[in-house]
A and B are shown apart, each in its own frame.
Chain A
Amino acid sequence: MSYNVAVCVKPVPDPKHYDKVTIDPVKKTITRTGIPTLVNPVDKSAIEAGLQLREHYGGSVIVVSMAPPNADEILREVLAMGADEAYLLSDRAFGGADTLATSYTLYHGLKKIEAAKGYSFDFILCGSESADGATAQVSSQLGEWLGYPHLWNVFELEGTPGKEGGGEKETFSMKTKMENGYMEWTAHIPLVLGVAREIRKPRFTSIMGIMKAKNKPLTVWGRADLDAAEDTYLGLKGSPTQPGEIFSPDLKRSGELFTGTPEAIVGRVVTVLRSNGVVIGG
């Protein structure tokens, strides 16, 4: 049994340089000048999981991204890592999309690829979240558009062969991260998985891979190519959420002196920890 795998990837500004992100006080836009773009780090783990599925079972790994036109460079890198083909969904009409509109666009991209290929995808893999927006919502919402079972934060994925000749499908066992533990699942394809970094350690790109990538197909599709998609759900206009003001959090170190009895100090520290999102007593 071979599997057709689609991996959704996102180009993001290099997280190592987020200290250089600033807000233009006049235009109220985010300035990220000089920050290099790279493949969202956890998406590489998703690609690796896809490549290993292909190496183990046979099949294909196709990468899909909704991004500006210059993302072709990033997709070329993903091809160099070993993916078979890449599709870039790029159009002004897709711009400003929130996660619902993004997942809708990806959904139509996937459907269109399936139609072109004459098969349907068995696995649709995404990184669990993007480094920049970090909403972690796209994989679940893509699962809903496709009407497939979906899991998020999957950190283990193993297949168990179905019964020989019994026509039984391969069963996949998975683990998803939970607070203080994990959850175990069994499933059959098709599946949409938002994967955690631990799922597979991404391979390093080889120079031979870079040379091979030159001749691999990279298709760019615009609004017109996704003919089945409705404008209602595309881009900024099709996004139910809309951005408001943006601002920088105050990062100055206040240097507040905590005084009093050790008990009082510890009490205040616990409050500070809680208000910074640390789960205490959990």
Chain B
Amino acid sequence: MSKKIWVHAEVVDDKIANVAFELLSKAHELAAAMGDGTEVEATLVGSGLEKEAARLAEWGAKTIYLADDPDLRMYSPLTFVPILAEVAATHRPDIYLFGATAIGSALGPAVAARLKTGTAAHCVDLRINEDKKLVALVPSFGGKVIGEILCPAQNPQMASIKPGIFTKKDPVPVPLRIEKLDSSVWKKLDTQGLKPVNVVRRPPQGLPLNEAEVVVCGGFGIGSQENWQLLEKLAQYLGGATACTRPAVDEGWSGEHCMVGTSGQSIRPKVYIGFGISGATHHICGMNESGIVISVNRDEEAPIFEVSDVRIVADVNSILPLLLDAVKPKASW
């Protein structure tokens, strides 16, 4: 029997979430490394998904294990966990990947617990070692340490990966093959204890600055209140927060509550994007522990560039509107 890599395809608003295709793309890479005709397959749970399932075949999922029922429209651990655990126990995949989304972060480890197997959380990369085992790279201590996690003795070797870590590559279509799961699996379950009621979508709200993973920061070089509003929109689109330097407060574009520096807040977001910031010491002290620093400034001598991963020597006006357009949310995801 050939080896199998599974991807659980998460459904959001009756559509397969992008992370599923990112994981399928990675799964093909892993399958190639495992060799011996390792196959990529997918699991899918929801309601009215037969059409959606075809998209998984476009990205090369050879078999799609589908549990489709109006009762399964919304996620619940009382249904999804036993369904996936049972189908995995039956077909015994070698590797099983989940998106580290709000649902996947709860579902993946619960399925692993049922299967008494191991799962690596929030991986930043995956590879196959010489023993044909999955090696997951997992950050800890706020990204200060990266550790390898293996699951040498049990299958499936499970892992969860945040959306956006892997790139969704070109489709590798295969003929559509759906294996419908028997509804008796979930019809017999007692689901009285916990019921999903509703899913409410709302535009991303401003996060407290020190909790935001993305911070868009503006300095004197922003130039105007109008540009400041573009900056806030950018932060909103990226699910982050805005920050500013002292001169931006003095100009009245922003308030002290989001000022970063020795007299303001110290932040350590994963991504810091600075526009029109010169990089005075007291500002740098407050942001130097950010994950990746992208800076846009007209002055190539600006000290901020010394602590930047990406230097863009340009006027704010030439970059900000374009970037805003590039990251604008699409109508559907």
Contact = CB atoms under 8 A, between A and B. Distances in A.
Physical contact A–B (CB less than 8 Å): yes
A149 interface: yes
A179 B139 CA distance: 21
A254 interface: yes
Contacts of A240: 112, 116-118, 151, 153-154
Contact of A143 (B110, B145, B271, B313): B110
A277 B162 contact: yes
Contacts of A239: 118
Nearest to B75: A183
B167 A282 contact: no
A89 interface: no
B128 to A, nearest CB: 13
A262 B106 contact: no
A169 B323 CA distance: 53
A273 B327 contact: yes
B330 A281 contact: yes
Interface in A131-180: 131-137, 139-141, 143-145, 148-153, 173, 176-180
Given A149-B77, A183-B200, A277 B164 contact: yes
A254 B323 CA distance: 22
Contact of B143 (A100, A173, A241, A249): A249
Interface in B105-163: 105-110, 112-114, 116-122, 135, 138-154, 162-163
Interface string A175-208: 0111111111111101100100000000000000
Contacts of B78: 149
Contacts of B149: 241-244
A248 interface: yes
Nearest to B271: A276
The binding surface of chain B is classed by DSSP as mixed
Interface string B198-236: 111111100000000110000000000000000000000
B292 A272 contact: yes
A132 B74 CA distance: 32
A140 B109 contact: yes
A280 B145 contact: no
A249 B117 CA distance: 28
B310 to A, nearest CB: 6
A274 B167 contact: yes
B105 A152 contact: yes
B326 A265 contact: no
B77 A262 contact: no
Contact of B140 (A134, A148, A262): A134
A266 interface: yes
B309 A254 contact: yes
A52 B96 CA distance: 39
A179 B12 contact: yes
Interface string A260-282: 00110111011011111111111
Contacts of B309: 253-256, 272
B52 interface: no
A188 B305 contact: no
B319 interface: yes
A269 B271 contact: no
Contacts of B110: 140-141, 143-144, 150
B239 A178 contact: no
B203 A180 contact: yes
A234 to B, nearest CB: 13
Nearest to A144: B113
Contacts of B141: 13, 18, 21, 30, 132
Contacts of A145: 113
A19 interface: yes
B147 A137 contact: no
Contacts of B305: 255
Most B C-beta atoms less than 10 A away, residue of A182, A184, A194, A266: A266
A258 interface: yes
Contacts of A242: 149-152
20 contacts: A98-B118, A133-B140, A134-B122, A139-B106, A141-B113, A149-B194, A178-B103, A183-B75, A184-B196, A184-B199, A246-B148, A254-B309, A263-B322, A269-B319, A274-B164, A275-B167, A276-B270, A278-B214, A278-B271, A281-B330
Interface of A: 13, 15, 18-19, 21, 23, 30, 98-100, 103, 131-137, 139-141, 143-145, 148-153, 173, 176-188, 190-191, 194, 233, 239-249, 253-259, 262-263, 265-267, 269-270, 272-282
Given A21-B145, A144-B114, A277-B163, 8 more contacts: A23-B145, A179-B102, A181-B201, A184-B199, A248-B144, A269-B310, A272-B309, A277-B164
